[in-house]
Amino acid sequence: MKEMIQNVRIIAEAGTNHNGNFATAKQLVDVAAEAGADSVKFQIIHPQGLYLEKLFKQGQYVDNEVFHKRAAGRLTDDDYRTLAGYCREKGIEFSGSVFDRRGIDLLEELSVSYIKLASCDLNNSLLLKMAAATGRKLIISTGMATLGEIEQAVSDIVATGNSNIVLMHCVSMYPCPTEKMNLGFIKVLKQACGLPVGLSDHSESSLAGAMAISMGAEWIEKHFTLDRQAEGFDHAYAMESAGLAQFVRDMRASEQACRRQDVKVQSEEREIKKFARRSIYAARDIKAGETLKEQDVRIVRPEGPLRPNDYILIVGKTTKRPIRQYEPLSLDMFD
């Protein structure tokens, strides 16, 4: 079988599913590499760069629980530096979603091949321009955004001189039912922006990803975890290790299924064709010199010298020699 050409890039989204545990983060890298993903991506969240420490409620400031949970579940920048090296050992790319200048600077230091911007920052032109200034490929999720907002984000980035952009269609529901995935918008994005398009897939199966590839998606992102029952923000709708491996296999198969083959009739089909196609056979013993009539032929399997449509070339012709019942007919039998 011809080796599969793989152009669709699969991002295994580890997010913050390490829960602040470096050993767990390494296990997530192992799972992504073993599944065959192209890259593993973490969410590099420095809580001060994304959340308020306190919220004003009912006339007073109270602690922001999300801020403290994020702080408790974060890895250090040195942890990410070590993880990037570990990814190189495992043969998988490392990258991250960034939410502040510090995250951008860290990924720039690590020479990643792309920087991810989450849907929440699609309308944050300051952050988009900071990331664009690195000159690196930007992968941008488009959840919660109108087409106009997406076009504005693209315009802001391109104005920096960086047009190396991938737009990820995304529906910000966690999980997202397949019927809510709005996959038809992938074609709208491609036509409106003229950029590579992918899918950030929050559904719980491979179906949406496979359909997205059939619509021209070139990048697919999928959340994964070691344990869907674990405490944390993204575990409940993420795929566990076996699910991620199957998801990657399904995406590779979908890509291959959607790729136009060099030859329409493949070798396996040619073998089936010998048994599945019909040909023209003698319905009875026919003497030499007889004129062949329609009732003298049967058009049945298996394939033989003549195609079914060739009957018009022989009906009404005179036989050169005797023909036995069930014998396949050929043009050289007739005058």
Q: Is residue 1 included in any domain, yes or no?
A: no
**Residues 170 and 98 placed together within one structural domain of the fold:** yes
Residue 220 has pLDDT above 70, yes or no: yes
Residue 6: predicted pLDDT: 65
| pLDDT tens, residue by residue, 137-193 | 999 999 999 999 999 999 999 999 999 999 999 999 999 999 999 999 999 999 999
Q: Is residue 197 included in any domain, yes or no?
A: yes
Mean predicted lDDT score pLDDT of the chain: 95
Mind giving me the DSSP string for 184-235? THHHHHHHHH-S-EEEEE-SSSSHHHHHHHHTT--EEEEEB-S-TTSSSSSS
**Residues 181 and 304 placed together within one structural domain of the fold:** no
Q: Is residue 51 included in any domain, yes or no?
A: yes
**Residues 226 and 303 placed together within one structural domain of the fold:** no
Tell me the chain's radius of gyration from C-alpha atoms. Answer: 30
Q: Is residue 147 included in any domain, yes or no?
A: yes
Domain boundary among 258, 277, 304: 258
- pTM greater than 0.75 (yes/no): yes
**Residues 83 and 145 placed together within one structural domain of the fold:** yes
In this structure, what CATH number is given to the domain that contains residue 320? 3.90.1210.10
Domain boundary among 203, 225, 258: 258
**Residues 161 and 48 placed together within one structural domain of the fold:** yes
Listed residue (168, 171, 260, 247) closest to 210, CA to CA:
247
Mean pLDDT of 71-98: 97
Mean pLDDT of 65-91: 97
In this structure, what CATH number is given to the domain that contains residue 177? 3.20.20.70
**Residues 133 and 174 placed together within one structural domain of the fold:** yes
Give percent of the chain with pLDDT exceeding 90: 92
Residue 304 has pLDDT above 90, yes or no: yes
Mean pLDDT of 247-276: 91
Nearby residues of 56 by Cβ (< 8 Å), 6 or more positions away: none
Residue 2 has pLDDT above 70, yes or no: no
Mean pLDDT of 95-101: 98
Which residues span the domain enclosing 159? 9-258
Query: At 101, which helix (H) or strand (E)?
Result: helix 101-109
Residue 316 has pLDDT above 50, yes or no: yes
**Residues 240 and 312 placed together within one structural domain of the fold:** no
Q: Is residue 79 included in any domain, yes or no?
A: yes
Mean pLDDT of 293-317: 97
Number of structural domains in the chain: 2
Reported as half-sphere exposure (CB side, CA atoms, 13 A), residue 133 has a value of 9
Q: Residue 45 carries which DSSP code?
A: -
**Tokens of residue 266, six digits:** 């493949």
**Residues 287 and 216 placed together within one structural domain of the fold:** no
Q: Decide if 279 contacts 328 (C-beta within 8 A).
A: yes
Residue 260: predicted pLDDT: 84
The residue whose two tokens read 């190396």 is 164
**Tokens of residue 244, six digits:** 């991620």
Count of other CB atoms within 10 angstroms of residue 332: 8
Q: Is residue 90 included in any domain, yes or no?
A: yes
Residue 52: predicted pLDDT: 96
**Residues 160 and 198 placed together within one structural domain of the fold:** yes
Residue 262 has pLDDT above 90, yes or no: no
Residue 5: predicted pLDDT: 52
**Residues 227 and 80 placed together within one structural domain of the fold:** yes
Residue 3: predicted pLDDT: 46
Mean pLDDT of 244-265: 92
Residue 75 has pLDDT above 90, yes or no: yes
**Residues 252 and 286 placed together within one structural domain of the fold:** no
Q: Is residue 300 included in any domain, yes or no?
A: yes
Q: Is residue 4 included in any domain, yes or no?
A: no
| pLDDT tens, residue by residue, 134-149 | 999 999 999 999 999 9
Residue 250: predicted pLDDT: 98
Domain boundary among 239, 258, 277: 258
Residue 1 has pLDDT above 60, yes or no: no
Residue 247 has pLDDT above 60, yes or no: yes
**Residues 184 and 299 placed together within one structural domain of the fold:** no
Residue 327: predicted pLDDT: 97
